[in-house]
Amino acid sequence: MAAGSDQKKYKVIGTRPIRPDGADKVTGRAIYGADVQLSGLVHGKILRSPHAHAKIKSVDVSAALQAAGVLAVVTGADFPELKDKIAQLGEGAVNLAYLSGNLLARDKVLYKGHAVAAVAARTANQAEEALKKIRVEYEPLPAVTWVLDAMQDDAPLLHDDIHTDSMGNQSEKPSNISTHLHFETGDVGQGFKQADVVIEREFKTASVHQGYIEPHVATALWNTDGRLKIWTSTQGSFTARQQTAELLQIPVSQVTVVPCEIGGGFGGKISVYLEPVAALLSRKCGRPVKMTMTREACFEATGPTPGSYMRVKIGATKEGKIVAGEAYLAYDAGAYPGGMIGPGCMCVFSCYEFPNAVVDGYDVMLNKPKTQAYRAPGATHAALACETIIDELAEKLKLDPIEFRLMNAAQEGTRRVDGPVYPRVGLIECLEAAKASEHYQSSLKGPNRGRGVAAGFWFNIGLKSAATANVNADGCVTLLEGSTDIGGSRASIAMQLAETLGIAAEDVHPAVVDTDSVGYTDVTGGSRVTFATGMAVYQVGRKIRAQMMERAAELWEVDAASVSEADGVYSSGEHSLPFKELAVKLHEIGGPIVGSASVNPQGSSNGFGVQIADVEVDPETGKVSVLRYTVIQDAGQAIHPSYVEGQMQGGAVQGIGWALNEEYFYGDDGQMKNASFLDYRMPTALDVPMIETIIVEVPNPEHPFGVRGVGETPIVPPVAAMANAVYAATGVRMRDIPMSPPKLWKALAEKESS
């Protein structure tokens, strides 16, 4: 659905060609990390902490070194000394001592599953057996796994070198609070005085995992000439390269990362876990070393998204105008600083005009795995808080929930509480599309049924992307990119190059290549690939076009300035040839045509979406069934609409799982009790209806084709939309997520008895 009259007409963009990686993936030929086989390959395994919190008094690996088939053993002491070393890694500054401590613990283990030592042996079984021979002497310490508990003065301390008190001040006494963020706009006190209705609520959300199907896997070969080659499934080959190089304190160009296909990442495959450990093992034994995580290790020792405590208050006038907001957000960091609180703060009030607002965010360390990004990290939590209060306000004000949102919707010129002022954005268009949709216009009848609506916001980061394209003798173009393809980006990037050159999508052959074979490219994440790598291939296309025009002038023996190009047809006077035919001629008479470009866009784009959920609650069991679900989202310009829809559907389904069932279930001992897909309940195809989609297109003025990233926004509204729908169905407001059957059943029972 096109939103405005500023819509350009494209030949390739907006069509739905078959994805270039399709055949390989459906026939099983695509090479994932687990498929890597090298001659002399040996297997690495990791010994993990059984304690949620303990001092390591000693590690004795001597017996393991003598075990059958063992070629090398490493511990944290094998990493270089990294204390106070800060590296700029892709999306921001990282303290390398914390990063390396998370890969192999040194003095303390900070969560159940924390890696302590690693073994390489001829077979995986031999490596497993050898792990049992490593003697670790622990001194168990009390553990803390709930964010508010971890903020208490008497909480068990994870690190003794972090000194932020609960008010965000630097204190003498170390604390579990690693960061306190504070944003303010207007005068909140005055704002609430203007309010006729004020609602303040508390929320709790559990840790949830990205749940990618493919576990982490990495193979490393530290060659005799010092070159380190790594095969891995990662969201960012260059990020993996840089992290590995920094952790091992070797130059990045000494490392080559070969990105294999990736079976899902969702933010959880940005940080390295295995790569540097496999590298250290390989350096010791001189063989390629492959390491694969179990599902249990993925749950216990990679980064889930934070659990959270939130207290949010919003005031509005009786006319329906929001006048003030206040948010207190405390998010799990996990065992090391650097959680997801920043985007949480950015996103909590980002859908609306808040003349007065204050946001306080706390990043809190506790005895759980270090949290990582999970698709719009931190935003889903915040949207739950904001969007369910908005729903309550609309009800109190007797306004249609979409109308109320429209009255306050962020638009061009709206200033976000953390500072930025929006350029042209598409929330109003999404809300209007939602309102006009057949779904919203339809009536939902029957007992225990209800409809919820929620909006959501996510930004696109820019970051660096590079690409190179070679024009072949047959006029087709091969395209090299560094962005690993998770959701169809080979197609969306190739299509932008095809559009730029005026050729068919099928005539561009994209390849995701290793870190030696293309310019530095940041992670596939932050909804940036189709946006930023798309900008890079646009530049590549323009450079190729310029060469084609110069070379056409030579071919035709005309002045270069007389050659023009339109829709892929090059002309000068009576001469005229389409790209492919011209390319064939130019190849015969001259050298090959090659274009390379890199971009580092400083702007960002902003994606908004609205979702509508119809649910039915079984009062006997508390089970929620999703009857109908529609995702409306501003894609700016949908390059390949099928993959935009796929992102919208996938994000919504993950959010539904988060809303209804998914959670890290901890015992009092800090042990996760459900670290398997049997016990950690993710939605399957049987649990959700076909997710309907409505693509809204308000072109992004900062991109040549108007692209806005679409990967993350769709996971922002679902938890709130589901909570609003459950309320509509039952009259119960669920603010402790997930709304799992036992919790919802209990809430229904309490309501019944009250």
What residues make contact with a copy of itself under the rule CB under 8 A? Answer: 18, 22-24, 27-29, 35, 37, 39, 88, 221, 223-225, 227, 242, 245, 251-253, 464-466, 468, 470-478, 480, 507, 509, 511, 513, 515-521, 587-588, 590-600
Please, what is the minimum distance in Å from the beta carbon of residue 351 to a copy of itself? 32
Inter-residue contact 527 to 458 (CB < 8 Å): yes
Please, what is the minimum distance in Å from the beta carbon of residue 590 to a copy of itself? 5
Please, what is the minimum distance in Å from the beta carbon of residue 596 to a copy of itself? 4
Inter-residue contact 734 to 748 (CB < 8 Å): no
Looking at the Cβ atoms of 259 and 519, the one nearer to a copy of itself is: 519
Looking at the Cβ atoms of 401 and 482, the one nearer to a copy of itself is: 482
Looking at the Cβ atoms of 166 and 470, the one nearer to a copy of itself is: 470
Looking at the Cβ atoms of 107 and 588, the one nearer to a copy of itself is: 588
Please, what is the minimum distance in Å from the beta carbon of residue 501 to a copy of itself? 14
Looking at the Cβ atoms of 67 and 477, the one nearer to a copy of itself is: 477
Please, what is the minimum distance in Å from the beta carbon of residue 40 to a copy of itself? 8
Neighbours of 398 (CB within 10 A): 9
Tokens at residue 587, please? 């190849």
Inter-residue contact 495 to 640 (CB < 8 Å): yes
Please, what is the minimum distance in Å from the beta carbon of residue 591 to a copy of itself? 4
As a whole number of angstroms, the distance between CA 749 and CA 614 comes to: 22
The residue among 302, 284, 285, 283 whose CA lies nearest residue 229 is: 283
Inter-residue contact 496 to 537 (CB < 8 Å): yes
Please, what is the minimum distance in Å from the beta carbon of residue 34 to a copy of itself? 11
Looking at the Cβ atoms of 30 and 148, the one nearer to a copy of itself is: 30
Please, what is the minimum distance in Å from the beta carbon of residue 26 to a copy of itself? 8
Sign of CA dihedral 445, 656, 678, 148: negative
Looking at the Cβ atoms of 2 and 87, the one nearer to a copy of itself is: 87
Please, what is the minimum distance in Å from the beta carbon of residue 598 to a copy of itself? 4
Looking at the Cβ atoms of 13 and 466, the one nearer to a copy of itself is: 466
H-only helix segments in 661-737: 718-730
Inter-residue contact 423 to 606 (CB < 8 Å): yes
Please, what is the minimum distance in Å from the beta carbon of residue 494 to a copy of itself? 12
The 624-634 sheet, strands edge to edge = 449-460, 605-617, 624-634, 692-696
Spell out the residues 6+ positions from residue 341 whose beta carbon is closer than 8 angstroms to its own.
Answer: 179, 181, 306, 329, 331, 333, 361, 362, 363, 378
Please, what is the minimum distance in Å from the beta carbon of residue 479 to a copy of itself? 9
The residue among 541, 533, 453 whose CA lies nearest residue 709 is: 533
As a whole number of angstroms, the distance between CA 655 and CA 632 comes to: 15
Looking at the Cβ atoms of 583 and 613, the one nearer to a copy of itself is: 583
Inter-residue contact 359 to 346 (CB < 8 Å): no
| Residue 186 buriedness (CB in 10 A; 0-12 / 13-18 / 19+) | middle
Looking at the Cβ atoms of 39 and 441, the one nearer to a copy of itself is: 39
As a whole number of angstroms, the distance between CA 514 and CA 510 comes to: 13
Looking at the Cβ atoms of 222 and 457, the one nearer to a copy of itself is: 222
Distances (CA, A) of 615 to 104, 486, 612, 718, 746: 45, 30, 10, 12, 18
Distances (CA, A) of 487 to 4, 295, 610: 27, 22, 21
User: What is residue 108's three-state secondary structure?
Assistant: strand
